[in-house]
A and B are shown apart, each in its own frame.
Chain A
Amino acid sequence: MSLGLTDVTLTYPDGETRLTALDRVTLDVPKGSLTAVVGPSGSGKSSLLAVAATLITPDSGTVTIDGTPTSGLSRGELTDLRRHRIGIVFQQPNLLPSLTAAEQLQVMARIDGRSPARARTRALELLDAVGLAHRARRRPHQLSGGQRQRVNIARALMNDPTVLLVDEPTSALDHERGAAVVELITRLTRQRATATVMVTHDRTHLTAADRTVEVRDGRLRRTAPIRTAPTG
């Protein structure tokens, strides 16, 4: 499994008590598959994503990224893991206003110490893959909402992650653009063989997923069986 959560429990302080955000959650996501996570607000979807992204350490249970258990890793090691193995597509594109579309991607490679020329080539290749090669020199305010979201997706793939975590990618888009973005995520998941988890509130996009899990009160309530994922 590329992403594995085993018996993960996460609680938050809530006054004098603790609120359970994830309650003994177990989830395995194989390479090249897309798992959709649905559930009402406050059910624990984002907490699930945050734990998988190694941004929060759970109270108990194990998170495994590409075969590496995250428990016991230092903050620096977790940062390295995020940089090399995990791609995050934020709910809002969260693009840096001073960078062009290509630079939004290049910054990932520069953080990793890769050569500027290779980073630029790779960024243009990914922008091409999401249909934005012709917008490479545009800054965020010069792009539409859908284009910004596609840059957001391309950025998440810049360092060839094995795990792709997608947080409500269609929340700021109309249905047509939302569908296009989900279709793009599905295609890239297959092409790049990422273990993709997509949190969404829009059930109309679930047909694209190989499996759908529902989170309610911090528990995985229902798991639709995983479909055979086409490769390549």
Chain B
Amino acid sequence: MFVAWRDLRFAKGRFALMGTVIVLITLLVGLLSGLTAGLGRQNISAITGLPADRIAFQAPSAGQDLSYSDSTVTRRQWRQWSEAPGVERAEPLGITTARAAAGQRSTAVSAFGVEPGSPLAPDGGRIDDRSVVLSTTAADDLGLAPGGSLTLSGRRLTVAAVRGDASFSHTPVIWTSLNTWRAAAPPAGADDGPTATVIALRTTSGADVPATDRKAGTRTVSLARSLSAIGSYTSESGSLQLMRGFLFAISALVVGAFFTVWTIQRSGDVAVLKALGASTTSLLKDALGQALVLLVGGTLAGTGIAAALGALVTGSDVPFLLSPGTILLPAAVMVLLGSAGAGLSIRRITSVDPLTALGSAR
């Protein structure tokens, strides 16, 4: 790093320019990651927070995908799952979007219908046909506290508790009884009447899921895989992840391009050092160390700014999630991909001929 440090100081304009580009890309990646995670949380936190390991959907028709919005499971299917071996618990869960109002305020909510006392809902024991549990966002939007009342699809209900911050498809969750949910949900044409949207399962290794699916006419997937059945989450997350991927690729290309030009510019110096007896390995280490200093410095600065901005907007209406996963992980990927880009460019050092330091060899 003897030459590398001095080059960094000597050509500070060039390195500052490149460092700024890295800072800005890292900032953009950090903000996009926080936003992606924040939006994702608004979409799926009610599902990922369920105490279940599998979700049973109504088996879709041929050519159709699983969907929380299209699934309707019946009492018979629920019973079959409840009685299946290896199933510790089968809890019906109804999901629908409804409008809740309290006084002058109203907001779109996701009504999650559960059996009274169901462990699926926080404080599920306080849910009945007249009482509901609100997520904090729903309570804030409606200006309600425990004991307050609201109207959901024409039914007057009492707030039994305010718990958790579950949201689904960008709307806050209100935990209701299944009867209340049925009143709010659009009618479905099931033979023995709709019981719920899906069945949340807690299974053991002894569960024969395919066999029970065939018997009950359901299709069961893991909780994580069930997230792809939330239409808005799949398309939104896919777009944002694509943007993030492009930013990572752009950063690797930009860093690679910079170090390609830089290596070409200093190939004369490299030839001199080689002619004087510097090994190619030591020159590669020196150059890679220089790239790492620039990358780590720029990435740290960009990550710091992204974290500061994230902290500023956390708690506001901006769906931003500030966590090691949204800040440090993208930073690590930036450094890794940038190093790869720089490494490929710096490889040119190996092909610099020390003979060129002597000028013409003839």
Which residues in A have some Cβ–Cβ distance to B below 8 Å?
A: 12, 21, 42, 44, 46-47, 49-50, 53, 55-56, 76, 79-80, 82-84, 86, 88, 90-92, 94, 96-99, 103, 106-108, 110-112, 139, 155-156, 159, 167
Contact = CB atoms under 8 A, between A and B. Distances in A.
B362 A88 contact: no
A90 B274 CA distance: 13
Given A107-B273, A112-B277, 20 more contacts: A12-B362, A44-B362, A50-B358, A55-B354, A55-B355, A55-B361, A56-B355, A83-B276, A83-B277, A90-B357, A94-B269, A96-B269, A96-B272, A98-B10, A98-B11, A106-B2, A107-B3, A108-B276, A155-B276, A156-B276
A50 B195 CA distance: 89
Given A55-B354, A98-B10, A47 B362 contact: yes
Contact of B359 (A46, A99, A111): A46
A85 B277 CA distance: 10
A76 B358 contact: no
Contact of B272 (A21, A90, A112, A139): A90
A106 B273 CA distance: 12
Nearest to A82: B277
19 contacts: A12-B362, A21-B362, A42-B362, A46-B362, A50-B355, A55-B358, A56-B361, A79-B279, A86-B277, A91-B359, A94-B268, A96-B273, A98-B3, A98-B6, A99-B6, A108-B276, A111-B276, A111-B279, A139-B10
B275 interface: yes
Kindly name the residue among B6, B269, B277, B355 whose own CB sees the greatest number of chain A CB atoms within 10 A.
Answer: B277
Interface residues of B, number: 27
Nearest to B272: A94
B361 A46 contact: yes
Q: Which 9 A-B pairs have the closest CB atoms?
A: A83-B277, A98-B10, A82-B277, A98-B6, A110-B2, A94-B272, A55-B355, A111-B278, A98-B7
A159 B361 contact: no
B358 A98 contact: no
Interface of B: 2-3, 6-7, 9-11, 268-269, 272-280, 282, 354-355, 357-362
Kindly name the residue among A12, A53, A112, A139 whose own CB sees the greatest number of chain B CB atoms within 10 A.
Answer: A53
Nearest to B11: A98
A82 B6 contact: no
A55 B275 contact: yes
